[in-house]
Structure 1
Amino acid sequence: MNGVAPAVYIVDDDQAVRESLTLLMETEGLLARAFASAQEFLAAGPETWRGCLVTDIRMGEMSGMELLTRVKQAAPQLPVVMITAYGDVALAVEAMKLGARDFLEKPYSEGDFIAAVRGALDEAADAEARAADRLEMGRRFQTLTSAERRVLVGLLEGKLNKTAAFEMSVSLRTVEALRASVMAKLGADCLSDLVRATMRAGIDKIISGASNETGPSPPR
């Protein structure tokens, strides 16, 4: 993804906190980048954000809550861990509603902090893998011909091959060949694999893309 290495972005206006958390992350073998303000982090731009964000809530010109809102608007996939010395239930609930993944109240243990960060990084990696998978399956879907897409929709709707053959005005053997081609192009060995593949590519797009191509109704 864009060549940027995953990192833990630490935003805190307290230099001692930034330095101690950066050292802790480096001790854990994690790349850390520290910022003295929310504005400094935002100025780096979402194209450089990959990993997770750790931010204090109480800061100078822009609070951590405002930063959370801005980040979720620009890069909703970036997990955010909030830290505060003024924690209460209402504040935690608000942060979670705004999209925070975790909420730590000072004083927290190193173990709790590391667990929160690693959980956020795992979530980011999973989201990135799913996005790459969707992109690849979407690319494969684009290689399907119009006829293959119609057969695919028929499969997803549970139609028999002979029904699809009638609706498309082709032979049963042609439908069987198209079905085999669809399975091969989407990397599916069975129907359940095919369903999972089409869901990753966007099943709504597949159905809507082929639903306009209607044929005669089969005899009852």
Structure 2
Amino acid sequence: MSDKPLVHLIDDEESVRRSTSFNLRVSGYEVKTYVSGIEFLKVAQSVMPGCVLLDIRMPDMDGLEVQEQLRARGIAMPVVVLTGHGDVPLAVRAMKAGAVDFLEKPFEKAVLVAAIARAVERLNDTGRRIEDRAEAQLCIGALTARERDVLEGLANGHPNKTIAYDLDISARTVEVHRANLMSKLRAQSLSEALRIAFAAGMPNEEH
């Protein structure tokens, strides 16, 4: 039995499965690939625990449904979702539902490996989440009220234009607040900022 961390890669595109599994294997991971969420769910109860790298848009059953099924079955493997450019609101929903991260295609090898490393940490240290909440709330506390409003909008999956409309400010002002909050949170990407927001208990419930 391999002692390498295991990644279950679920994507209906053969080219993505091939290139992503190659990049992960050369980075020291064992990879099992699946052509659909349905195929993975058939064996999910019996496979070795690992991280799940899950495409969000697939025929028959999309990534959100697969994630929902895993949770319903009590399978607590950490999930990283793969998304196309227009699917960021879906990826935000996936993160609200417990995904560790999301990656926008096409992604660089370093970004992929960093996301999987975070998922492995989650797999090995589930108790860390309580500490994360206090730490995240501390980070959020450094933001101005308007920066928190913008972060709240992002955490609800809204694009800059929608946030601008909701807050009655210009899209350019939203961009400035977004850049400032990313800097204060030391977030290199939107998914990093969202992880902090969700850990801190954002967003507030919306009707």
Place the TM-score, normalised by the shorter chain, in its bin: 0.5 to 0.7
Give the secondary-structure state (helix, strand or coil) at the position aligned to 1:10: strand
Cα distance in 2 for partners of 1:26, 1:111 equals: 13
Give the secondary-structure state (helix, strand or coil) at the position aligned to 2:98: coil
Cα distance in 1 for partners of 2:2, 2:98 equals: 23
Give 1:78-157 correspondences, 5 Å limit.
Answer: 78-127=77-126
Cα distance in 1 for partners of 2:93, 2:10 equals: 19
The 1:11/1:105 distance shift into structure 2, 3 A limit, reads: same
Deviation readout 1:47-69 (Å, 9 max, x if unpaired)? 31411000111111110111111
User: What is the Cα deviation at residue 89 of structure 1?
Assistant: 4.6
Cα distance in 2 for partners of 1:45, 1:80 equals: 13
Task: State the one-letter code of the partner of 2:22.
Answer: L
Q: Which moved more, 1:81-90 or 1:23-32?
A: 81-90
Residues 83, 91 of structure 2: 8 Å contact kept: no
Structure ID, larger Rg: 1
TM-score, length of structure 2 as denominator length: 0.56
Cα distance in 2 for partners of 1:42, 1:89 equals: 24
Task: State the one-letter code of the partner of 1:14.
Answer: E
Give the secondary-structure state (helix, strand or coil) at the position aligned to 2:92: helix
Cα distance in 2 for partners of 1:30, 1:7 equals: 6
Cα distance in 1 for partners of 2:45, 2:11 equals: 18
Task: State the one-letter code of the partner of 1:61.
Answer: D
Give 1:1-220 correspondences, 5 Å limit.
Answer: 6-127=5-126
TM-score, length of structure 1 as denominator length: 0.53
Cα distance in 2 for partners of 1:76, 1:42 equals: 10
Cα distance in 2 for partners of 1:4, 1:42 equals: 22
* Percent pairwise identity: 36
Cα distance in 1 for partners of 2:127, 2:18 equals: 28
Gaps of 5+ in 2: 129-207
Gaps of 5+ in 1: 130-220
The 1:30/1:89 distance shift into structure 2, 3 A limit, reads: closer
Paired residues, what number? 128
